[in-house]
Amino acid sequence: MKKYLNYLLTGLRILVGWHFLYEGIAKLVSPGWSAKMYLMSTQWIFSDLFHQMAASPGIMKVVDFLNIWGLILIGLSLFAGLLVRWSSIAGAVLLLFYFVAYPPIPGYTFGTVTEGSYLWVNKTLIEFFILLVFAALPAGMSFGADRLIRRWKEEKASTPVPTVKEEGASMQRREVLRDLISVPFLGAFAYAVYRKKQWDSFEEKLLTTKKTDATSGATLKSFNFASLEDLKGQVPKGKIGNLELSRLIMGGNLIGGWAHTRDLIYTSKLVKAYHTDERVIMTLQLAERCGINAIITNPSLGRIMNKYWHETDGKIQFISDCGIKEGFLEGIRQSCETNSVAMYCQGGMADRLTYDGKFDEIVKGLELIRSYGKPAGIGAHRIETVQACVAQGIKPDFWVKTLHHHNYWSAQVDPEKKSTVDKGYKDNIFCFKPQETIDFMNGLEEPWIAFKILAAGAIQPKDGFKYAFDNGADFICVGMYDFQVVDDTNIALDTLANVNRVRPWRG
């Protein structure tokens, strides 16, 4: 195998060079590419330094320049086998920075896209050690310009001979060809980049076409998802008890897989499949960067919340709806174990308890929550639930009530529904009497978190946010995919800057 070692090392060097070179070219031709967001999202030991670098436009110009041209020049050097030792050292330093920024350690890879599963070791670390090997190897161990130059210097320094054997000349030509082995690979690289560019151009034209697909009648749409660079600011805060909460609160239905999607029976499974632990934690981290500091969800998601806190030192607070089949009181106990900061009687549960006249269970639940030193609330889908609790003299620390208008096409009531407590419910309307809700809630002094304000995706956020805040909601709870977080934050900021409400802010 010794006679093949040079070829194997040369092939390995060219492959690493290919990777570096294309990474650099891809960044060079990508409009507006910057490492800013990459640095801003790091969390490991040097995260503060990286964040400071990202905050300085001058430093970022230098960082971007060094990234792009460092990758290109290192790639070319490895490709050609020229100054391999120095380019290997430079490449290893660059890879070390990449590894330190995003180590494949549980809790520090959220928010990054990976093509495989890593634990402590990833391709960055592997390439780092490969380059260290090339930095330590003698120049003659792989074919390339370094070997060619070294041999030329040795031949020039040696004593001239009067005649040169044909066999020696032939050997020299073979050695030169070996050292130029990267040339055809460089040609293959150039061809591959050309073909990739052609495909990208075709794909761009395809995605932006306005023509209709003749087969399916469907028109392709291109979507622009907002990134943190588009963020207009941080969500303002309000208070419930001693808790400081963002006016925009995350909803847990999408993360938990409870998708109210009317006739689309597969959607809940699809949503749950999308929201892996990593995706959920990445979404929470993104929300936190936007100033969202709370999520309302079920005790069953306490596991993922604790994982998020433990692995990322996240600060988003968990408000539990205590909605489990064992009942309100057991839901409170489980919620306390999951470190929830506030608890309330889930809307459907409160609707049933009030309809059955079991107000004592609601009162016991509120007392139990308060005994833990937490704010205690009551949720409701029906305004009658809130009215009945108020009539009974029950005073929670906050309300969680549905609110949305009925100006969407699927807002139809089913009068044949047998259950009186849910009469007309068809998983398409969540606030049956919006105006009565607005009028009654305006007279209450407790803070109000409005939920289902988009009627489970039937109402545009810009419309739903304004309707809720203008009509008295102090906080809104909205389920969000990761690609909606920044957009929803910006919409909330625009809405709050131009709010027109009668009810004073509570909390």
Specify if 228 maps to a domain: no
Specify if 208 maps to a domain: no
Sign of CA dihedral 497, 500, 501, 502: positive
CB 382 within 8 A of CB 432: yes
CA 399 to chain centre: 30
182 with 246, same domain? no
The contacts of residue 89 (CB under 8 Å, 6+ apart) are 131, 135
3-state SS of 66-105 is: HHHHHHHHHHHHHHHCCCHHHHHHHHHHHHHHHHHHCCCC
Beta pairing partners, 402: 451
The span from the CA of 231 to the CA of 112, in Å, is 19
Q: How would you classify residue 427: left for phi > 0, otherwise alpha for psi between -120 and 50, otherwise beta?
A: left
Domain that holds residue 22: 2-200
The CA-CA-CA angle for residues 185, 90, 124, to 5°, reads: 75
The span from the CA of 222 to the CA of 204, in Å, is 10
73 with 152, same domain? yes
pLDDT at 68: 95
Q: What is the CATH number of the domain that holds 317?
A: 3.20.20.100
- Copy the structure tokens of residue 436: 């009565």
249 with 137, same domain? no
* Final residue belonging to a domain, choices 175, 200, 225: 200
Specify if 134 maps to a domain: yes
Specify if 73 maps to a domain: yes
What pTM value is reported for the model?
Answer: 0.65
Report which of 332, 312, 314, 313 is spatially closest to residue 323, judged by C-alpha positions: 332
Local structure of residue 239 (DSSP, 8 states) = E
Beta pairing partners, 477: 249, 451
pLDDT at 168: 57
Report which of 307, 278, 314, 320 is spatially closest to residue 293, judged by C-alpha positions: 314
Specify if 65 maps to a domain: yes
- Map tokens 């180590």 to a residue: 103
299 with 171, same domain? no
Specify if 218 maps to a domain: no
- Map tokens 């545009």 to a residue: 460
Other Cβ atoms less than 10 A from the Cβ of 219: the count is 10
The span from the CA of 78 to the CA of 124, in Å, is 16
Count of domains for the chain:
2
The span from the CA of 424 to the CA of 306, in Å, is 38
How many CA atoms does the CB half-sphere of 207 hold within 13 Å? 9
Report which of 486, 481, 464, 489 is spatially closest to residue 251, judged by C-alpha positions: 481
pLDDT at 209: 47
181 with 259, same domain? no
329 with 246, same domain? yes
Q: How would you classify residue 300: left for phi > 0, otherwise alpha for psi between -120 and 50, otherwise beta?
A: alpha
Other Cβ atoms less than 10 A from the Cβ of 51: the count is 14
CA-CA-CA-CA dihedral for 324, 325, 328, 329, to nearest 10 = -100
* Final residue belonging to a domain, choices 200, 219, 254: 200
330 with 188, same domain? no
pLDDT at 271: 81
Tens place of pLDDT per residue across the chain (507 aa): 666 888 899 899 999 999 999 999 989 988 788 888 788 878 788 888 998 998 899 999 999 999 999 999 999 999 888 999 999 999 999 999 999 988 888 766 655 555 667 788 888 999 999 999 999 998 778 888 888 777 777 666 665 555 555 555 566 666 666 767 777 777 777 777 777 666 656 555 544 444 444 333 343 333 445 577 788 999 999 999 999 999 999 998 777 777 777 777 777 888 888 888 888 888 898 899 899 999 999 998 888 898 888 877 789 999 999 999 899 999 999 999 888 999 999 999 999 999 999 999 999 999 999 999 999 999 999 999 999 999 999 999 999 999 999 999 888 766 555 555 666 566 788 999 999 999 999 999 999 999 999 998 899 999 999 999 999 999 999 999 989 999 999 999 999 999 999 999 998
252 with 109, same domain? no
292 with 146, same domain? no
Specify if 231 maps to a domain: no
CB 19 within 8 A of CB 127: yes
359 with 424, same domain? yes
345 with 254, same domain? yes
481 with 337, same domain? yes
Specify if 214 maps to a domain: no
Cβ burial, residue 232 (10 Å; 0-12/13-18/19+)? middle
Report which of 327, 376, 368 is spatially closest to residue 348, judged by C-alpha positions: 327
The span from the CA of 504 to the CA of 507, in Å, is 9
- Long-range (24+ apart) CB contacts under 8 A made by 284-287 are 284/250, 284/308, 284/312, 284/314, 284/316, 285/110, 285/111, 285/312, 285/314, 286/111, 286/228, 286/482, 286/485, 286/486, 287/250, 287/316, 287/480, 287/485
